[in-house]
C-alpha cells in the first residue's frame, strides 16, 4: 500500500513529520510505501540528516505550503501546488491509497470534498475521534469537529457510519451505538437529540443502546458515541487536557495514557471516496507514526469501499 504523508503540515513540520515517517517505515511491509509530500530539497536533506537509507519512503515534490491559520477554501484554490492539494490529487488519481496530514484541519476537510468528494448517500462527512475504554481498546466518537451543528438525520447516519467503522476497523462485532445526552430517558436533551434518539431507535442497521451521559464515555455502554461536532470536539479536547495534566503531574496509568492524542495518531475523515486522516497540529514523531498505522488499518479494512457499498443505491 502507498500512504501519502504531508511533510509540511503541523506545528513541528517538517522535522517531526519526517521523523515520524522513519518510525512508521520500520513497521511497514517490504512492498509498502510512504510518499512524503513537500518541498523536495527540504525533505531530502532532512531524510539524509536523519540517516535514512531504506526503500519504503519516496519523496513527492510540492512547492507550496498551506499555513495552519490560512483560510481553507482560499488557500486550496490559490495554492494548487501545496502539499495538501498535491496529496488529495494523488488520492483522487489513486496514486496513493491514503493521505495523512497534521496540517490545516479545515483545508484537509475542504480538500477532501473538492477532490475525492463525499460518498453518494452520505449527508455530511465527519471527523471521528477515539475514546479509550476501561475494558481495553477504544470506542469511536463522531463527530469531533467537522459539523458543529447536526440535523437529526445526520446524527442518525453517524450511528451507521460509526458502526461500520467500529466493525471493520476496530473489529467490534455488532457495535453498540449510544447518543450523547444529558440524561438516560429518551425525552431528555435538545429537540435535535430527541428526534435523533427516535431515528436511531428505529434504524434496523444500528444496535442502538439509547442515550449516554458524560459518565458513560469510558465504560462499556457503547462502542460508537454519536454527537454533533461541537460536543465531540469539547469532549476530545477535555480528555486530551486531562492526559496533559496527569503527564505534568507524572501520574502514569495504562488507561489514562490512552488519553494521549499520540496513541490514536489522528482522526479519520469518514464518508469520502478515499482514506484521509487528520493529525493533531502539535503532532510528534510518535503521533505521525501512529497516524500512518491508522491509515494502514483503514486501507486494509477497505473502509471507504464499505461505506460506498453501504450507501450505493
264 versus 295: smaller Cβ distance to its own copies: 264
- Identify the CA nearest to 306 among candidates 141, 122, 61, 77: 122
Q: What is the DSSP string of 205-219?
A: T-EEEEEE-GGGSSS
Calculate the CA dihedral of residues 271, 258, 219, 307 and round it to 10 degrees. Answer: 10
Residue 255 C-beta: closest distance to its own copies, Å: 7
Residue 91 C-beta: closest distance to its own copies, Å: 26
Q: Which of 153, 202, 245, 300 binds its own copies (CB under 8 A)?
A: 245
Size of the site for its own copies (CB under 8 A): 40
Residue 124 C-beta: closest distance to its own copies, Å: 14
β pairing state of 224-226 and 207-212 = unpaired
Q: Is 136 in the site for its own copies (CB under 8 A)?
A: no
142 versus 235: smaller Cβ distance to its own copies: 235
Q: Is 214 in the site for its own copies (CB under 8 A)?
A: yes
Q: Given the rule CB under 8 A, which of 58-66, 78-86, 214-222, 286-294 is the region that contacts its own copies?
A: 214-222
Q: Given the rule CB under 8 A, which of 7-15, 41-49, 142-150, 262-270 is the region that contacts its own copies?
A: 142-150
Q: Is 145 in the site for its own copies (CB under 8 A)?
A: yes
Q: Is 173 in the site for its own copies (CB under 8 A)?
A: no
* Cell reading at 196: 435523533
Do residues 182 and 266 make contact, with C-beta atoms less than 8 angstroms apart?
no
The edge-to-edge listing of strands for the beta sheet with 2-6 is 57-61, 33-38, 2-6, 98-101, 276-278, 267-270, 126-132, 138-142, 224-226, 176-180, 207-212
* Cell reading at 111: 480538500
Residue 170 C-beta: closest distance to its own copies, Å: 21
Query: What residues from 103 to 132 belong to the interface with its own copies (CB under 8 A)?
Result: none
Q: Is 211 in the site for its own copies (CB under 8 A)?
A: no
Query: What residues from 251 to 310 belong to the interface with its own copies (CB under 8 A)?
Result: 251, 253, 255-256
2 versus 280: smaller Cβ distance to its own copies: 280
191 versus 313: smaller Cβ distance to its own copies: 191
For residue 157, what are the contacts with CB-CB under 8 A and spacing of at least 6?
A: 122, 123, 124
φ, ψ dihedrals at 70, nearest 5°: -70, 155
d(CA 245, CA 53): 39
Q: Is 135 in the site for its own copies (CB under 8 A)?
A: no
d(CA 254, CA 248): 16
Query: What is the SS3 assignment for 34?
Result: strand
Binding mask 176-195 for its own copies (x = CB under 8 A): ----xxxx----xxxx-x--
For residue 154, what are the contacts with CB-CB under 8 A and spacing of at least 6?
A: 123, 124, 147
Q: Is 241 in the site for its own copies (CB under 8 A)?
A: yes
Residues that bind its own copies (CB under 8 A): 134, 145, 148-149, 180-183, 188-191, 193, 213-219, 229-231, 233-242, 244-245, 249, 251, 253, 255-256
Amino acid at each position: 500500500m502507498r500512504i501519502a504523508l504531508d511533510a509540511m503540515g503541523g506545528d513541528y513540520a517538517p522535522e517531526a513529520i519526517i521523523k515520524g515517517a522513519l518510525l512508521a517505515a520500520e513497521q511497514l511491509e517490504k512492498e509498502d510505501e510512504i510518499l512524503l509530500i513537500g518541498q523536495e530539497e527540504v525533505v531530502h536533506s532532512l531524510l539524509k540528516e536523519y540517516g535514512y537509507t531504506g526503500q519504503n519512503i519516496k519523496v513527492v515534490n510540492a512547492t507550496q505550503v498551506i499555513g495552519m491559520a490560512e483560510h481553507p477554501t482560499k488557500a486550496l484554490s490559490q495554492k494548487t501546488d501545496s502539499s495538501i492539494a498535491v496529496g488529495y490529487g494523488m488520492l483522487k488519481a489513486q496514486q496513493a491509497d491514503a493521505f495523512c496530514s497534521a496540517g490545516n484541519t479545515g483545508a484537509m476537510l475542504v480538500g477532501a470534498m473538492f477532490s475525492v468528494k463525499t460518498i453518494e448517500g452520505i449527508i455530511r462527512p465527519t471527523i471521528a475521534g477515539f475514546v479509550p475504554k476501561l475494558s481495553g481498546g477504544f470506542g469511536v466518537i463522531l463527530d469531533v469537529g467537522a459539523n458543529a451543528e447536526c440535523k437529526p438525520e445526520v446524527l442518525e447516519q453517524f450511528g451507521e457510519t460509526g458502526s461500520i467503522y467500529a466493525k471493520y476497523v476496530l473489529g467490534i462485532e455488532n457495535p453498540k451505538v449510544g447518543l450523547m445526552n444529558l440524561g438516560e430517558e429518551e425525552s431528555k436533551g435538545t429537540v435535535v437529540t430527541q428526534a435523533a434518539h427516535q431515528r436511531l431507535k428505529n434504524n434496523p442497521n444500528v444496535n442502538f443502546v439509547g442515550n449516554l451521559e458524560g459518565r458513560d464515555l469510558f465504560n462499556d455502554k457503547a462502542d460508537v458515541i454519536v454527537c454533533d461536532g461541537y460536543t465531540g470536539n469539547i469532549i476530545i479536547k477535555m480528555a486530551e487536557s486531562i492526559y496533559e495534566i496527569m503527564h505534568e503531574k507524572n501520574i502514569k496509568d495504562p488507561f489514562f495514557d490512552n488519553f494521549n492524542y499520540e496513541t490514536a495518531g489522528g482522526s479519520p475523515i469518514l464518508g469520502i471516496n478515499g482514506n484521509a486522516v487528520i493529525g493533531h497540529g502539535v503532532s510528534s514523531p510518535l503521533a505521525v507514526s501512529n497516524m500512518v498505522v491508522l491509515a494502514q488499518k483503514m486501507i486494509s479494512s477497505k473502509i471507504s469501499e464499505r461505506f460506498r457499498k453501504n450507501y450505493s443505491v
